[in-house]
Amino acid sequence: MASAALQAHPGVDAALSYFNEQIRAQPQDQSLYLQRGTVYSNDGQYPEALADFERAAGLGDRVLASFDLGVLYYRQGDFDIARRYFDEYLKRFPDNVSCLEYRARLLRDAGEVDAAVADFQRLFDVQKSPNPGHFLAVAEILAARGDDGITQALVILDRGIERLGVTPQLQYPAIRLELRRNQPYAAMERMMLLQPVLGQSPEWKVEMGELLLMVGDRKHAATLLDAATTQLIELRKTPARLETLAKISTLRSEFAVSDTTARS
């Protein structure tokens, strides 16, 4: 495999030297041209990559070169040709994760939203451990459609949470979407799900306190803000922590929340 070869021969020059030697010894081996072409493609040497991929296509089953050709044309911004190659490859290998991901990205970049979402959904079905970034990508596409899209985006994020567990990477975007559709109680419920992971941090306390203030619960909000302030005072000062302290001050001012924290 190309990845193994690249690990064994780090660096583009070393990898090319390795495959050059292999191709001289086995000039009819289709896989070697595909692997060397991938090195060229990853390094931005597109004419050289195209020559290798076309050579590979002529040495055996042409479809086996379609994915690499699709990636090459996608990188060059020729979406129409890239799409044809991806379609050809997926017709033969409909569950290929890499090709599904590339075609989904291409469709997203081309503005074909429904088709992109369909490919990402298919990607979720065939992957054992989906990339959380893909759920975020679909959610962003859908959320751009307005209120109905936000609801659909939340469904996608919850699907990711169901598959991958409650993670800040997916839950925080969901919280922001809940607030976009004016659902602070739903946002609070989601924030509570992060408590086992983040609840001891002052940042979580401030974020939960802000949500409590939004729904008018000043008493519990003040308790959390006091606890966060105490923690932050005792911790080493960093720009991020100073920013959090400033946010607490702003929240107290905006919502007229008293500060009962004892300062030493």
Which 8-state DSSP code applies to residue 117? H
The closest of 205, 219, 202 to 255, measured between CA atoms, is: 219
In sequence order, the 6+-apart residues with CB closer than 8 A to the CB of 121 are 138
Asked whether residue 2 is domain-assigned, the answer is yes
Domain count, the chain: 2
Domain residues for the domain of 215 are 199-264
Q: In the prediction, which pLDDT does 264 show? A: 40
178 domain residue, yes or no? no
Distance CA 22, CA 155 (A): 49
Residue 104 identity: A
Is the residue at 154 inside a domain?
Answer: no
The answer to whether position 246 is within a domain reads: yes
Q: Name which of 92, 98, 45 is nearest 70 in CA terms.
A: 98
Residue 111, sorted as left (phi over 0), alpha (psi -120 to 50) or beta, turns out to be left
- Whether 83 is covered by a domain: the verdict is no
User: What CATH number is given to the structural domain containing 15?
Assistant: 1.25.40.10
- Return all residues near 240 (Cβ < 8 A) that are at least 6 apart: none
Q: Domain ends where: 60, 80, 110?
A: 60
* Residue 93 belongs to a domain: no
Place of tokens 């190309």: 2
What phi, psi does 130 have (nearest 5°)?
Answer: -60, 150
Phi-psi region of 146 (alpha: psi -120 to 50; beta: other; left: phi over 0): left
Q: Which residues of the chain have pLDDT under 50?
A: 1-9, 262-264
Q: Which among 194, 192, 209 has a CA at the least distance from the CA of 254? A: 209
Domain presence at residue 149:
no
Q: Which of 37, 39, 33 is nearest to 14 (CA)?
A: 39
CB 103 within 8 A of CB 90: yes
SS3 state of residue 163:
helix
pLDDT at 10: 57
What pLDDT is stored for residue 5 in this prediction? 39
pTM for the complete prediction? 0.79
Contacts of 26 by beta carbon, 8 Å cutoff, 6+ apart: 32
Give me the pLDDT at residue 9, please: 44
Write down which residue in 60, 75, 100 finishes a domain.
60
* CA 110 from centre of chain: 18
Last residue of a domain, one of 32, 60, 88: 60
pLDDT of residue 82: 98
CA dihedral (208, 212, 213, 215) positive or negative: positive
Query: Is the residue at 141 inside a domain?
Result: no
Q: Which amino acid is at 9?
A: H
- Tell me which residue of 128, 132, 65, 133 sits closest to 99, measured CA to CA: 65
